[in-house]
Amino acid sequence: MTLSTQDRYRTRTRDRLEPISRIEPTVWSGVDGPIDAETLVAHDARGFSVFQDLLGPSEVRAFQDELRRLSTDDKLKADERTIVESKSQEVRSIFEVHKISDLIAELVRDPRVIERARQILGSEVYIHQSRVNYMPGFRGKGFYWHSDFETWHAEDGMPSPRAVSMSIALTDNFPFNGGLMVMPGSQRTFIPCVGETPDQHYKASLSMQEIGVPSEADITTLANACGIEQFTGPAGSALMFDSNVMHGSGSNITPFPRSNIFVVFNSVENEVVEPFAAAQPRPSFIAARR
Amino acid sequence: MTLSTQDRYRTRTRDRLEPISRIEPTVWSGVDGPIDAETLVAHDARGFSVFQDLLGPSEVRAFQDELRRLSTDDKLKADERTIVESKSQEVRSIFEVHKISDLIAELVRDPRVIERARQILGSEVYIHQSRVNYMPGFRGKGFYWHSDFETWHAEDGMPSPRAVSMSIALTDNFPFNGGLMVMPGSQRTFIPCVGETPDQHYKASLSMQEIGVPSEADITTLANACGIEQFTGPAGSALMFDSNVMHGSGSNITPFPRSNIFVVFNSVENEVVEPFAAAQPRPSFIAARR
């Protein structure tokens, strides 16, 4: 038996591979939760759901204050889990934030959050990654199209796309300030990417992805088949999306910055193994190794 | 009498100047045309109007073919009026295109186009600038916030904001493929910009503007006061907007490119004089000197 027959989701190869139809469900049965039946059916088909008022206004303010506090903590700024933009010295992301902030630790265990994740994944879950993101106005850079699962599989050793992310907006998402774009239904297709993973790739990939990027031809096919939708909504709304949904974001030249709390839940039945296409797994603050 | 008392719209100064309330109307009376009264009132208040079906489907196809022909004409590619991206060698814009293409020459004289311009400016008009723009998918760069009038005043010597632009979309404008964002009502305020115009500035400014850029504080004030709207609509729709409307566009990572025909009409009662804030006027293919 060779690696290529064991690994259903081969990627980062020298030569191009054809897109792969996913076998695993998007919504797994077996665990009840707060998501109604209709929303669940739509999530299964489309790979994402938007919950408009996940947090109330006073909660939004509390988390905004917490993000401000975290981003101005000089000790935390020097922590390896904090990503600082080299030019402006502004904080862009803080990883493993549920182990840094008590308030966010509470949030990721809040039934509104974790029970939705359990319900979709049909099992107990654990946190594969958590972070807060600060995206500035005027100079927000955006992020090119990608599937998170492609990275987590290649670099973290996540066997299957049985993980779900929740992005909780702490600022208003307009159609024009660089919010997430998703391709509905794209989670059903795995797009292998060309090019081997360089060592220490995660350091570069956090700011600018060059490996793990689908070809323009594959993105075009997927966009024509699935269309593109944007995650818009007021502060406090949340997007839950499958680990294999093709997504990206444009730049933000408006004065309206964006910040959010981002948590990835993985099924305990999908624990990470050795990376499928990288020499070393990424640090545990980026991808938990239980 | 000094220059500073003659020039109502001083800009490109060493020190910051306060925003200036415009005195000229946005819609000038005196000339009838195809725009209905309600649309005209809205144009006066907001500084722009969208005409959803300015061109029919067969016209759109004809102009798309024409743009394809122009962008693949090797002789034209070497013309100074053609802006080619240095990296990809793809054509981005062709200036003075109404003197290059018979089809576009016809279009700019089409009553649907020129009579709307005459009606808004309340006089005979002439073409200050024309061009076609090709904006690629995947790598579309966008353009930072600016007022066209600020540039035309500073660098071309346009005395007053009595000019109007029409952008005719030849591809669909979605909210997410980098279409124009405008601030409704912003045309009533002139935002002076800091920094003197370098020589031959137009060559750099066509790809990346650094002079003639409003401050972040001024953009924020204007955005909070006016809001932001996007020009969306199918191929064939047109945006008419006042020369002093604050506008910009984000990047485009979608596979959906954008192209358009862009014409600027200036009132014959507003002919250009010497530049107000540049040593030399720009070449006449960028700004007609009658």
Per-residue pLDDT, A202: 73
Contact assessment for residue B147 and residue B241, using Cβ atoms and an 8 Å cutoff = no
Amino acid identity of A120? I
Chain A partners within 8 Å of B174 (Cβ) = 228
Between the alpha carbon of residue B19 and those of residues B8, B22, B27, B215, B216, the distances in Å are 11, 9, 21, 11, 13
Between the alpha carbon of residue B97 and those of residues A54, B81, B108, B261, B285, the distances in Å are 52, 8, 10, 9, 9
Mean pLDDT of A153-181: 97
Do the chains contact at B176 and A181, CB–CB below 8 Å?
yes
Alpha carbon distance, N-terminus to C-terminus of chain B: 28
Q: Average model confidence (pLDDT) for chain B? A: 94
Q: Provide the domain limits for residue B229.
A: 22-192+206-270
CB pairs under 8 A between A and B: 67
Angle A135-A139-A142 (CA atoms, 0-180°, nearest 5)?
Answer: 60
Chain B partners within 8 Å of A208 (Cβ) = none
**CA-CA distance, A84 to A61, in Å (whole number)?**
24
Contact assessment for residue B142 and residue A253, using Cβ atoms and an 8 Å cutoff = yes
**Residue B3 pLDDT > 90:** no
Per-residue pLDDT, B1: 36
- Distance from the A13 Cα atom to the nearest Cα atom in chain B, whole angstroms: 22
Is A11 contained in some domain?
Answer: no
Is B9 contained in some domain?
Answer: no
Per-residue pLDDT, B210: 75
**CA-CA distance, A83 to B167, in Å (whole number)?**
41
Between the alpha carbon of residue A145 and those of residues A1, B119, B156, B254, the distances in Å are 33, 44, 40, 8
| Residue closest to B77 by CA, chosen among B101, B93, B98 | B93
Per-residue pLDDT, A156: 97
Is A13 contained in some domain?
Answer: no
Contact assessment for residue B269 and residue B151, using Cβ atoms and an 8 Å cutoff = no
At A83, the pLDDT band (50, 70, 90 cuts) reads very high
pLDDT digits (tens, 9 = 90+) for B264-288: 999 999 999 999 999 999 999 999 9
At B194, the pLDDT band (50, 70, 90 cuts) reads very high
Contact assessment for residue B172 and residue B234, using Cβ atoms and an 8 Å cutoff = yes
Nearest to A223 among B178, B220, B254 (CB): B254
**Residue A153 pLDDT > 50:** yes
pLDDT digits (tens, 9 = 90+) for A213-271: 999 999 999 999 999 999 999 999 999 999 999 999 999 999 999 999 999 999 999 99
pLDDT digits (tens, 9 = 90+) for A252-265: 999 999 999 999 99
- Distance from the A139 Cα atom to the nearest Cα atom in chain B, whole angstroms: 10
Is B286 contained in some domain?
Answer: no
Per-residue pLDDT, B2: 43
Alpha carbon distance, N-terminus to C-terminus of chain A: 28
Mean pLDDT of A143-171: 97
CATH code, domain carrying A197: 2.60.120.620
Chain A partners within 8 Å of B256 (Cβ) = 223
pLDDT digits (tens, 9 = 90+) for A20-48: 999 999 999 999 999 999 999 999 999 99
**CA-CA distance, A275 to A157, in Å (whole number)?**
4
Chain A partners within 8 Å of B176 (Cβ) = 175, 181, 228, 230, 250
**CA-CA distance, A170 to A258, in Å (whole number)?**
7
Interface probe with A: pick from B173, B216, B254, most Cβ of A within 10 Å: B254
**Residue A1 pLDDT > 50:** no
DSSP assignment of B178-239: T-EEE-TTGGGEE---BSPPPTTHHHHHTT---SS---HHHHHHHHHHH--EE--B-TT-EE
Do the chains contact at A251 and B248, CB–CB below 8 Å?
no
Per-residue pLDDT, A44: 98
pLDDT digits (tens, 9 = 90+) for A121-141: 999 999 999 999 999 999 998
Is B177 contained in some domain?
Answer: yes
Chain B partners within 8 Å of A176 (Cβ) = 175, 181, 228, 230, 250
**Residue B244 pLDDT > 60:** yes
Mean pLDDT of B31-55: 97
**Residue B192 pLDDT > 70:** yes
Chain A partners within 8 Å of B138 (Cβ) = 216, 219
Per-residue pLDDT, A45: 97
Do the chains contact at B219 and A138, CB–CB below 8 Å?
yes
Reading the block at residue B66, the tokens are 């024409």
pLDDT digits (tens, 9 = 90+) for B100-134: 999 999 999 999 999 999 999 999 999 999 999 99
Is B283 contained in some domain?
Answer: no
Is B279 contained in some domain?
Answer: no
**Residue B5 pLDDT > 80:** no
What phi and psi values does residue A159 have, to the nearest 5 degrees? -65, -50
What phi and psi values does residue B110 have, to the nearest 5 degrees? -65, 135
At A4, the pLDDT band (50, 70, 90 cuts) reads very low
What phi and psi values does residue B91 have, to the nearest 5 degrees? -75, 130
DSSP lists the bridge partners of residue A201 as none
Per-residue pLDDT, A215: 95
What phi and psi values does residue B216 have, to the nearest 5 degrees? -60, -35
Per-residue pLDDT, B207: 55
Per-residue pLDDT, A210: 75
Per-residue pLDDT, B209: 61
Do the chains contact at B230 and A142, CB–CB below 8 Å?
no
Is A278 contained in some domain?
Answer: no
Domains held by chain B: number: 1
At B4, the pLDDT band (50, 70, 90 cuts) reads very low
